[in-house]
Amino acid sequence: MFSSVKPYEDQNYLALKRACLRRKVLFEDPLFPATDDSLYYQDAPGPNVRWKRPKDICKDPHLFVNGISSHDLHQGQVGNCWFVAACSSLASRESLWQKVIPDWKEQEWDPEKPNAYAGIFHFHFWRFGEWVDVVIDDRLPTISNQLIYCHSNSQNEFWCALVEKAYAKLAGCYQALDGGNTADALVDFTGGVSEPIDLTEGDFANDEPKRNELFERMLKVHSRGGLISASIKAVTAADMEARLSCGLVKGHAYAITDVRKMRLGHGLLAFFKSEKLDMIRLRNPWGEREWNGPWSDTSEEWQKVSKSEREKMGMTVQDDGEFWMTFEDVCRYFTDIIKCRVINTSYLSIHKTWEEVQLHGTWMKHEDPQLNRSGGCINYRDTFLQNPQYVFDIKKPEDEVLICIQQQPKRSTRWEGKGENLAIGFDIYKVEENRQYRMHSLQHKAASSIYINSRSVFLRTDQPEGRYVIIPTTFEPGHTGDFLLRVFTDMPSNCQELRLDKPPHSCWTSLCGYPQLVTQVHVLEADGLKDSPTGADSYVIIKCEGEKVHSTVQKGTSKPKYDVKGVFYRKKPGQPITVQIWNQRCMKDEFLGQVQLKADPDDLQAVHTLPLRDRNNRQPSNLPAAVAVSILSSASLTAV
């Protein structure tokens, strides 16, 4: 990973540090200076803000004091509980924080080598498909010698304040961190994908099977190194940071620092009884104000748990902002959970390995409809298919697919203010098995995401084998911007952008001819196939001018549902299209019959039900079977 990290704004950490040491000066970052511009993009700060280096705030500064912990962090004056909650989650994962804080031992203060310190730090964040290395100086904003933003329990520990400063530099200023999204920070720390879950809409508090399934998924994400957070939606401005009678705070992000099944009972009885409770440990970024309901720190419920089990869970009775809740209570009191999966793409792992494709795209306006790529969502049918289109394959009978689009983050500036996200989303369509050119008419919608003005939108879906097209869009037409599409499948998906509308003209087309018709053939189903008491193991082959499209095998049925499509650009319209049905055998597949289709543009019948014939176009008496076929032909090559 480190070899592929890109210096942010071309600032090379090692070169800058060597230059400072050579000149015997402490680094001052010209791109994020110790001025009001780095604090605010609007309004003006109070007159008492002073930028100070850690050595001027305390006597013995360190990156870490007694290691790194989720207990280190406390939110400051900016409303970035979302960022602090994400940092709390990060601190609990050594493998992850060591990516964000690279070569930390080299960056740590060394009292024995004071001349080796240059007042410069660097941190890694995943942004828009790549890891970036962000360089900062160590000047931090203070009032009365106290850090005004994120700070640690220990006055001489500075890792969280420095990480926050680097993140503020990426965003444009500290004020840009006011009111952000935990999901964004989790992704920026991990390079993973975030999945938001609405607990209220899903009614998880009352649906036990659904709740149990969600807990198992969270347990898997947590055990495989992912990060999770929870929050309670604030409906009104007055709700923001309002404390409920149970001790929880509205409009506030909590880090989930542990997910586990807790064994109830004492001694051997606990093992034989095997009664377990689904438990979640959360942390308030304020470092105080905890849940006061069942299983809170001083709750009598803890008497049901053995001392060894409490020690294993790290149970403490302190007002440190960290507390346990049953998952049922989490679903009852919280409204939203964000799971950030760290997607495993390493073939050396014992866990599931995903195949990932990353593609950069752009929504852009153009007067020519064939070149316009900002068509808006499906509500705008006239322009919807003008958006960017991406094709991918599912090569298993059924596969779990993870799809995420992320729009380019916008920096906040004093002149433009805080960058607002566009409302974005995407639809997925099942298309012809051999599609190579852009869709021009709507096909079967396989799945769709929500549309939201979030930096990223995620969808997990299970789909059958076949070819699909993803259409990422802004909600309204005419909006422009860059986006990143990420597709994760179990087997390589060959995901790529469809750029051409139809077959291109070339020197070969002048010699061999150019297509005169486009025809879409959709084989729906067959009836009357007999091979055994349970039916045939049949499949379809669609043939046209040397090109073939195969369906999957439909096992053990005389009434198979094929639902297979092919699209053909035909140079010889007089030559018929052949649809053959075959029976899969161990030694050699058996030909069951075929139909031939003229498929001309004048044929406007929606569905043809045609009797199967033999190779000589005769109907065999021993197989009174038929196949249902839908055909669409046009002389316009951009009609399908």
Instruction: Answer whether 394's CB lies under 8 Å from 463's CB.
Output: yes
- Select which of 81, 160, 331, 495 is catalytic: 81
Which of these, 500, 435, 491, 497, lies nearest to 465 by C-alpha position? 491
Given 181, 284, 344, 387, which residue is catalytic?
284
Interval 420-424 mean pLDDT: 92
Half-sphere exposure of residue 542, counting CA atoms within 13 Å on the CB side? 26
Residue of 466, 427, 463, 467 whose CA lies nearest to 445: 427
Q: Which pLDDT value is given to residue 4?
A: 84
Check whether 350 has a pLDDT greater than 70.
no
Q: Quickly state the pLDDT bin for 162 (edges 50, 70, 90).
A: very high
Kindly state the helix (H) or strand (E) to which residue 401 belongs, with its residue range: strand 390-407
What is the chain's mean pLDDT, rounded?
A: 89
Q: Write down the pLDDT at residue 2.
A: 43
Q: Which residues contact 119 (CB under 8 A, 6 or more apart)?
A: 20, 26, 27, 28, 53, 137, 138, 139
pLDDT in tens, 451-484: 999 999 999 999 999 999 999 999 999 999 999 9
Which stretch of 8-12, 44-48, 214-218, 445-449 has the lowest confidence by average pLDDT? 44-48
Q: Is 79 left (phi over 0), alpha (psi -120 to 50) or beta?
A: beta
pLDDT at 287: 63
Q: What is the pLDDT of residues 323-341, one digit of tens each?
A: 999 999 999 999 999 999 8
pLDDT of residue 415: 64
Q: What is the pLDDT averaged over residues 205-210? A: 95
d(CA 416, CA 149): 24
- Asked whether the domain spanning 517-634 has the same topology as the one spanning 355-498, the reply is no
Task: Say yes or no to pLDDT of 533 above 80.
Answer: no
**Res 45: pLDDT:** 60
Write down the domain spans for the chain: 6-182, 193-341, 355-498, 517-634
193-341: what fold? Cathepsin B; Chain A (3.90.70)
Q: Which residue has the higher pLDDT, 415 or 467?
A: 467
Residue with tokens 């002149």, as numbered in its chain: 415
Q: What b/e readout covers 405-432, taking b as 16+ CB neighbours within 10 angstroms?
A: bbbbbbebeeeeebbebbbbbbbbbbbb
Amino acid at 318: Q
pLDDT of amino acid 458: 94
Chain centroid offset of residue 475 CA: 19
Q: Please check the confidence at residue 374 and state whether its pLDDT lies above 90.
A: yes
- What is the distance between the alpha carbons of residues 369 and 387, in angstroms, rounded to a whole number? 10
Q: What average pLDDT does range 414-421 have in this prediction?
A: 72
pLDDT digits (tens, 9 = 90+) for 606-638: 889 999 998 887 776 566 789 999 999 999 999
Asked about 246 being catalytic, the answer comes back as no
Beta strand pairing call for 481-489 and 355-363: antiparallel
Q: Which residue has the tokens 């992850």?
A: 96
Q: Is the pLDDT of residue 603 over 80?
A: no
- Asked if residues 208 and 327 have their Cβ atoms less than 8 Å apart, the reply is no
Query: Rounded distance, CA 175 to CA 418, Å?
Result: 9
Q: What confidence score (pLDDT) does residue 84 get?
A: 83
Question: Binning pLDDT at 50, 70 and 90, where does residue 1 land?
Answer: very low
State how far the Cα of 290 lies from the Cα of 89, in Å rounded to an integer: 17
Give CA angle at 414 (408, 420), nearest 5°. 35
Asked about 284 being catalytic, the answer comes back as yes
pLDDT score of 298 more than 70: yes
The helix/strand/coil state of 340 is strand
Q: Tokens for 164, please give them.
A: 């926050």
Collect all residues with Cβ–Cβ distance below 8 Å to 633 and sequence separation of at least 6: 517, 518, 519, 520, 599, 600, 601, 603
Lowest mean pLDDT segment, chosen from 66-75, 92-101, 603-612: 66-75
Q: 272: part of which helix (H) or strand (E)?
A: helix 267-273
What is this structure's pTM?
0.88
Q: What's the CATH code, domain 355-498?
A: 2.60.120.380
pLDDT tops 70 at residue 272: no
The predicted structure's pLDDT at residue 315: 72
Q: Which of 252, 331, 377, 544 is catalytic?
A: 252
Would you report the helix, strand and coil content of the chain in percent, each value rounded to 5? 20, 35, 45
| 433 vs 351: which has the higher pLDDT | 433
Please determine, for residue 271, whether its predicted confidence score (pLDDT) is greater than 60.
Answer: no
Q: What is the pLDDT of residue 414?
A: 64
Predicted confidence (pLDDT) at residue 597 exceeds the cutoff of 80: yes
DSSP string, 149-181: SSEESSTTB-HHHHHHHHHHHHHSSGGGGTT--
Beta partners for residue 105, in sequence order: none
- Diameter of the chain by CA atoms? 98
- Please give the CATH topology (third level) of the domain spanning 517-634: Immunoglobulin-like (2.60.40)
Beta-strand relationship, 496-497 and 456-474: unpaired
pLDDT digits over 9-45, tens only?
Answer: 999 999 999 999 999 999 999 999 999 889 988 776 6
Residue 165 pLDDT: 96
In the chain the first and final C-alpha atoms are separated, in Å, by 43
Nearest to 255 by CA among 163, 373, 338, 355: 338
| Phi, psi angle pair for 250, to nearest 5° | -75, 155
